[in-house]
Structure 1
Amino acid sequence: MKSLKDKTVLITGGASGIGKLMGQLVLQKGAKLIIWDINPHNIEQTMADLSGYGKVAAYQVDVSLPEQIRATAAMVKQQHGIVDVLINNAGIVVGKYFHEHTYQDIGKTMDINADAPMYVTLEFLPGMLAQNSGHICNIASSGGLISNPKMSVYVASKWSVIGWSDSLRIEMQQLKKNVGVTTVMPYYINTGMFDGVRSVIPILKPEKVARKVIRAIEQNRIFLGMPWSIHFVRFSQGIMPVRLFDWFVGGVLGIYKTMEHFKGRKQ
């Protein structure tokens, strides 16, 4: 998708963090923006902040609830027609040892991080297929490649997204459809979601992440890893014995201790 001008872009989790930043960027490129978010205050503020950049519509929706996804998608299609670009960005993290999770913690994390991107895509992909044009961008995580303590369920959800997202890309190729799929795998981003994380590897700046994601969509990139070294994770896992990989990633880079002081976003 070389140009976003006059395209309709829908971003889940679009009223805060990189979702909001990506929204501003697509508006500046001449796109029409549709925001899905669960937080009414953030929606109101984002509408006020972004309406000066172009056409913005917003819907309050809990993407952990399939019926809300279905009903809101029906409204979007009726009021705005086909969505040209879908960015599945909404996500949550619990941040504690697995045995401390409740059924609700597990269910909610998987509902929002793993299932919702598939449900939302299921609603808008048929329109893209009908016009033989579109793009789906799934915001996964480097946690979808590297196991990490106090992130087990989050990691499970993001492994799921990466596997599904790239399978979808190959399906579009097999069907000879002009629908691109980009899978994004960023390290920790400084948006508040991972407050308290301590890392030797620099935590990513949200503005830079947002710019790179939008550029990746325009360039129809298959994978976007941030920092670039993320792309070597699978190679390292393939050539290193597990204990050696654990020593390097956990001991030398300190990845396995990054969540020790996790606080998360204040509600």
Structure 2
Amino acid sequence: MLKKRKVIVTGAGSGIGKEIVKGCLNEGASVIACDINGNSLNNLSLAMDDRNVLYTYQLDVSKYEAVTKFFYYIEAEHSDVDCLVNNAGIYLAKNILDYQADEMDKVLDINVKGFIYFSQMFGKKLLEEKRKGVIINMSSVSGMEGSSDAIYGLSKAAILGLTKSCAMNFSPYIRVNAVAPTMVNTTMMGIIPDWRKEEYLSHQLINTPVLPEDVAETVVFLLSDKAKHYTGATFDINNGGYLR
């Protein structure tokens, strides 16, 4: 589905990001995988076979200068890039009453500003060249229904607004959609409070857990031409949660 596509994926070294990279590669895309963790990127490269066209780039998405430098690299080495998956994020599992100011800044810098920086620079490039492209923003059920970690929840709600606004600002060239999964079996799930996990599960109408590869399949679909009529939409992968 993704032959001739070139996809940037942030937060690509583990969890959902890693599965998105695999899914894109399996569908014939080239991928530029970004992550703050160099070891994770090395392990990702080792896990792929020689047939895959995978490039890795270590950076902190919350640093504007680092993202600017990355897009200079993109212009020089991958000027045909046409897809972006904003996935990098952080979850501290803290009550808002316990947050320190620097912790608030860290979550918002990564979870919101990182998405803004990449969207701005990717959007500017493709709009100036009048080329078609796609942006997928990873949000969360907590951005739609609230979170036990209010700062994380507000960051993921902000991404829904960013998605709709960029869909308008970048039309007709770039389609922009959001994916909002429920709990997914990654390392993050290990620090979600038990009461919140039970609440999520009690609302779900399908009793099959949502896996990282399930989320990746939705992202691959949205990157493909099969989703050519979707923009400004949110795909809530939550087993029918919160319908009642």
Which residue is 1:76 aligned to? Answer: 74
| Per-residue deviation, 1:122 | 1.2
The one-letter code of the counterpart of 2:119 is: T
Aligned residues with identical type, % of pairs: 27
CA distance in 1, matches of 2:123, 2:110: 19
Which of these two proteins has the greater Rg computed from alpha carbons? 1
Residues 216 and 224 in structure 1, CA contact (< 8 A), matched pair in contact too: no
State the secondary structure of the residue aligned to 2:145. coil
Gaps of 5+ in 2: none
| Per-residue deviation, 1:208 | 1.1
Gaps of 5+ in 1: 237-247, 249-267
| Per-residue deviation, 1:159 | 1.0
Which residue is 1:253 aligned to? Answer: none
CA distance in 1, matches of 2:22, 2:58: 18
Residues 86 and 135 in structure 1, CA contact (< 8 A), matched pair in contact too: yes
- Which residue of 74, 85, 88 maps to 2:86? 88
Residues 27 and 53 in structure 1, CA contact (< 8 A), matched pair in contact too: no
Which residue is 2:132 aligned to? Answer: 133
CA distance in 2, matches of 1:216, 1:25: 12
CA deviations over 1:28-47 (Å, ceiling 9, x no partner): 22111101101111010001
More divergent stretch after superposition (202-211 vs 100-109): 202-211
CA deviations over 1:3-27 (Å, ceiling 9, x no partner): 4211110000011111111111111
| Per-residue deviation, 1:132 | 2.6
- Which residue of 121, 124, 131 maps to 1:123? 121
Residues 140 and 162 in structure 1, CA contact (< 8 A), matched pair in contact too: yes
CA deviations over 1:93-127 (Å, ceiling 9, x no partner): 11111121111210010011011111011111122
TM-score of the aligned structures, taking structure 1 as reference length:
0.80
- Corresponding residue pairs, total: 227
State the secondary structure of the residue aligned to 2:80. coil
CA deviations over 1:133-179 (Å, ceiling 9, x no partner): 00000001111111232x10001111111011111112334xxx231
| Per-residue deviation, 1:196 | 4.3
* Residue 173 (structure 2) pairs with residue 178 (structure 1): yes
More divergent stretch after superposition (122-131 vs 25-34): 122-131
Q: Could you list the structure 1 runs, at least 4 aligned residues long, displaced by more than 6 angstroms after superposition.
A: none
CA distance in 2, matches of 1:133, 1:148: 35
The one-letter code of the counterpart of 1:181 is: V
Which residue is 2:222 aligned to? Answer: 216
| Per-residue deviation, 1:76 | 2.0
Residues 83 and 127 in structure 1, CA contact (< 8 A), matched pair in contact too: no
Residues 137 and 178 in structure 2, CA contact (< 8 A), matched pair in contact too: yes
